[in-house]
Structure 1
Amino acid sequence: MQFKNIIGQESIKQQLIQTVAENRISHAQLFLSSEGSGALPMAIAYAQYINCLDKQADDSCGECSSCRKYERYIHPDLHFSYPFFASKDVRIAVDVLDEWRSMMLADPYFDMDIWRSKLSAENKQANINIAECHDIIKKLSYKAFEAQTKVLIMWLPEYLDKEGNSLLKIIEEPPQNTLFILVANNQEQILSTLLSRTQIVKIPKLPHATVESYLMDEYGLSENQATEYSFLADGNLIEAKQLVANTQNENADKFAEWLRMGYGNRVLDLTNFVDQIAGWGRENQKNFLKYGISFLRECSLLLSGAEDLVKLPVSAMETAKKLSTHVLNLNMADAIISELEKAHYHIERNANPKILFLDVSLQLVKIIKFKTLPKGTQYIYS
């Protein structure tokens, strides 16, 4: 993995390259980012650059023996740790290393849902267990085989429970030329004892323009499509790719029409819409709900007088302005967002979509037409 293969994040790349040039490589680092920002590929590219035998000014060479092994994730001094589902056949992370490498080679941008789909999860919870911690200590106690620096990249240390405290000593006093890189999404869920022993590298969310350009270049999307998907993904490249894979580019019009049906109390139309959406498939239903949540948050900005902060594409912006002027107010938008978030939660847990969307549709009628808000919400008349 070279820096040039990572989407955006130019300032972070330069920052990491500078630490190598100035010999300021902290032995324990935490790459902290939101999902889909490229933190894991960045960690691998950084490790590859450190061990490259012919470093360039702005990237690893990609040609030396070290780089070639890094590109296939088979370098003997590159180790990975990650959440997995323990069983009698899977005790530590290396037991599913083939699946990990295969997924990484296919696309290094992935999340826990994608990783889970590659494994036999059954009804178990993923974690990084004590056996894995002991294996990490064992592996890192060996001398390096080829590289100057041994590297352990731990993806999602949030899945470490108190067993992670067994790693404190080796992180605090590592063997010579050993680098730990933790790649995390949620700082609050990481053991504080681990957190205090790492140098944090914050990797920002990808700008909408970067995601748009990627989608147009990589998938040949029109500017309007790329803009809509970028808005919906909100800087998450994984989410943007999934939206392309589950192409549903009429979300804005369909969602606005759904709101209008609720405003007009058009029960027959709502029933027909529910029948239609029930056949979309679970991923498209989730995407539709996520679009609605994002769209209404942008409407809330309009209603608050913060139009300059709104990131909707032109066509969706016109729709949002009309709805904000003639249909919605802030409390309504907030109440509908709450209903959509609950619906998304239940869709993820295999709720019956027909029953679920019928219920949400009736809630729309109550909120928009009859101005009946959830308990605890004080209605403000426009």
Structure 2
Amino acid sequence: MQFKSIIGQQATKQRLITSVNENRVSHAQLFLGPEGSGSLALAVAYAQYLSCEDKQPDDSCGVCSSCRKYQKLMHPDLHFSYPTFGTPKEASIDFIEQWRDAFGTNPYLSLDIWRGYVDSGNKQANININECHQIIKKLSFKPFESVYKVLILWLPEYLDKQGNALLKVIEEPQPNTLFLLVAQNQDQILNTILSRTQLIKIPCLNYEDIKGELVSHHNQTDTAASEIAYLSNGNMTEALSMLQHDTKSYHALFVDWLRMCFSNKGLLVLPFVDQAAKMGRENQKNFLRYGTSFLRECCLILSGAEKIVKLPERELETARKMSAVMSIPQAQTLINELEKAHYHIERNANPKILFLDVSLQIIKVLNLKIVPAGNHYIPN
């Protein structure tokens, strides 16, 4: 994995390259970034750059013996640790082939995607004590080929108290041994481990980076890429997931839904409910997610912050018109209703009943001008 293969994150890439060139490589580092930010890919690219035999000013060479092995995740000095879902006797090495396949297919891995590769069902993810012992064993040896021996620990949030067994190897590692942790939630990491690492914060991807990737490498039209980039909210994992489902525009359908409810045309709402019920669960979730995002942009317009609205021009014009007949309390109420609907769709609620109920709630807010205050409804 080379830095140039990773979407965006230019500032983080430059920081990592500079730390190597200035010989300021910390032995224990925490790559902390939200899902879909590319933090795992950055850790692998960083390790490859460290081991590259012909480093370029801004990337690894990609052709030396070390780089070729890194690109296949088969370098003898590169080790991985990640959550597993089975018995306490299982270790990461038991699933290394699945891991290479999963990362090679999609460097923007999520735990749900990884779960699918190991056929774990609904078993709980964890990094067990046996895995901790395996980590200690791997890091006790000197580098075999490269200057550095590297262990990348993905999702240390799944280390329980047994993670304290790693404290000594993190604090006093063998020479030229690097411990790279890749996490999403700082609050769920053991404080004893957190305090012993150098923190590298990785932001979510920006709209333009995701849109550009979808157009140039995934054959998406400008319109489709714009909508997916907007819906993914900086999460490349989510954007790639959306590509597997219909790329139809949700804008027209959502606005028509609001207009039906605003005019209280109950007979027209019923065909919409039937249509939404047949969309499929993932498309229903994406549709509700789009509606939530669109209404948030309306709130920005109502608050006088139109300059930071990210909607395409056609959708922006619609948002302006919607904002003219809607207040911020109304928009916030609708957002809450859509978020609740999204939550229930994820838990297999009956879509026909759910969309009918949400339609009635939207009619109550837009047509009858009723918004909640505490547990009571009062006129706005």
TM-score after normalising by structure 2: 0.95
The residue identity in structure 1 corresponding to 2:99 is W
The residue that corresponds to 2:20 in the other structure is 20
The residue that corresponds to 2:354 in the other structure is 356
Output aligned runs, 1:83-232, within 5 Å.
83-87=83-87, 91-232=90-231
C-alpha separation in 1, matches of 2:338 and 2:153 = 34
C-alpha separation in 2, matches of 1:157 and 1:312 = 36
The residue that corresponds to 2:260 in the other structure is 261
Are the aligned partners of 2:371 and 2:379 in contact in 1 as well (CA < 8 Å)?
no
Corresponding position: 1:43 with 2:55: no
The residue identity in structure 2 corresponding to 1:296 is L
Are the aligned partners of 2:369 and 2:379 in contact in 1 as well (CA < 8 Å)?
no
Quote how far apart the aligned CAs of 1:225 are. Answer: 2.2
RMSD over aligned Cα atoms: 1.7
The residue identity in structure 2 corresponding to 1:245 is Q
- Structure 1 gaps, min length 5: none
Quote how far apart the aligned CAs of 1:325 are. Answer: 0.5
Look up the SS of the partner of 1:334 in the other structure: helix
Look up the SS of the partner of 1:118 in the other structure: helix
The residue identity in structure 2 corresponding to 1:318 is E
Quote how far apart the aligned CAs of 1:93 are. Answer: 1.6
Change (3 A) 1:190 1:271: same
Look up the SS of the partner of 1:373 in the other structure: strand
Comparing 237-246 and 328-337, the one that deviates more:
237-246
The residue that corresponds to 1:369 in the other structure is 367
Look up the SS of the partner of 1:70 in the other structure: helix
Q: Deviations over 1:15-55 (max 9, x none)?
A: 11111111100011111112212111110000001011111
The residue identity in structure 2 corresponding to 1:287 is N
Look up the SS of the partner of 2:37 in the other structure: coil
C-alpha separation in 1, matches of 2:85 and 2:295 = 37
The residue that corresponds to 2:69 in the other structure is 69
Q: Deviations over 1:122-150 (max 9, x none)?
A: 23211212221121112111222222211
Look up the SS of the partner of 2:80 in the other structure: strand
Quote how far apart the aligned CAs of 1:379 are. Answer: 6.4
Comparing 234-243 and 11-20, the one that deviates more:
234-243
Corresponding position: 1:307 with 2:306: yes
C-alpha separation in 1, matches of 2:231 and 2:379 = 29
Look up the SS of the partner of 1:154 in the other structure: strand
Look up the SS of the partner of 1:168 in the other structure: helix
- Structure 2 gaps, min length 5: none
Quote how far apart the aligned CAs of 1:103 are. Answer: 0.9
Quote how far apart the aligned CAs of 1:232 are. Answer: 1.2
The residue identity in structure 2 corresponding to 1:96 is F
Comparing 307-316 and 158-167, the one that deviates more:
158-167
Look up the SS of the partner of 2:290 in the other structure: helix
Quote how far apart the aligned CAs of 1:375 are. Answer: 4.4
Look up the SS of the partner of 1:272 in the other structure: helix
The residue that corresponds to 1:273 in the other structure is 272
Are the aligned partners of 1:208 and 1:231 in contact in 2 as well (CA < 8 Å)?
yes
C-alpha separation in 2, matches of 1:352 and 1:94 = 42
Quote how far apart the aligned CAs of 1:239 are. Answer: 1.7
Comparing 230-239 and 70-79, the one that deviates more:
230-239
% identical aligned pairs: 57
Change (3 A) 1:39 1:126: same
Are the aligned partners of 2:83 and 2:155 in contact in 1 as well (CA < 8 Å)?
yes
Q: Deviations over 1:283-309 (max 9, x none)?
A: 111111111111111111111111111
Corresponding position: 1:5 with 2:10: no
Change (3 A) 1:46 1:379: farther
The residue that corresponds to 1:335 in the other structure is 333
Look up the SS of the partner of 1:374 in the other structure: strand
Quote how far apart the aligned CAs of 1:247 are. Answer: 2.8
Change (3 A) 1:248 1:264: farther
C-alpha separation in 1, matches of 2:232 and 2:295 = 15
C-alpha separation in 2, matches of 1:320 and 1:332 = 14
Q: How many residues align?
A: 379
The residue that corresponds to 1:236 in the other structure is 235
The residue that corresponds to 2:60 in the other structure is 60
C-alpha separation in 2, matches of 1:161 and 1:354 = 42
Comparing 251-260 and 157-166, the one that deviates more:
157-166
Q: Deviations over 1:85-129 (max 9, x none)?
A: 1138x7112222211111111121221221122222223211212
Quote how far apart the aligned CAs of 1:315 are. Answer: 1.2
Comparing 41-50 and 122-131, the one that deviates more:
122-131
Are the aligned partners of 2:224 and 2:247 in contact in 1 as well (CA < 8 Å)?
no
Quote how far apart the aligned CAs of 1:156 are. Answer: 1.4
Q: Deviations over 1:298-340 (max 9, x none)?
A: 11111111111111111111111111112x2111111111111
Look up the SS of the partner of 2:310 in the other structure: coil
Are the aligned partners of 1:331 and 1:379 in contact in 2 as well (CA < 8 Å)?
no
Quote how far apart the aligned CAs of 1:69 are. Answer: 0.8
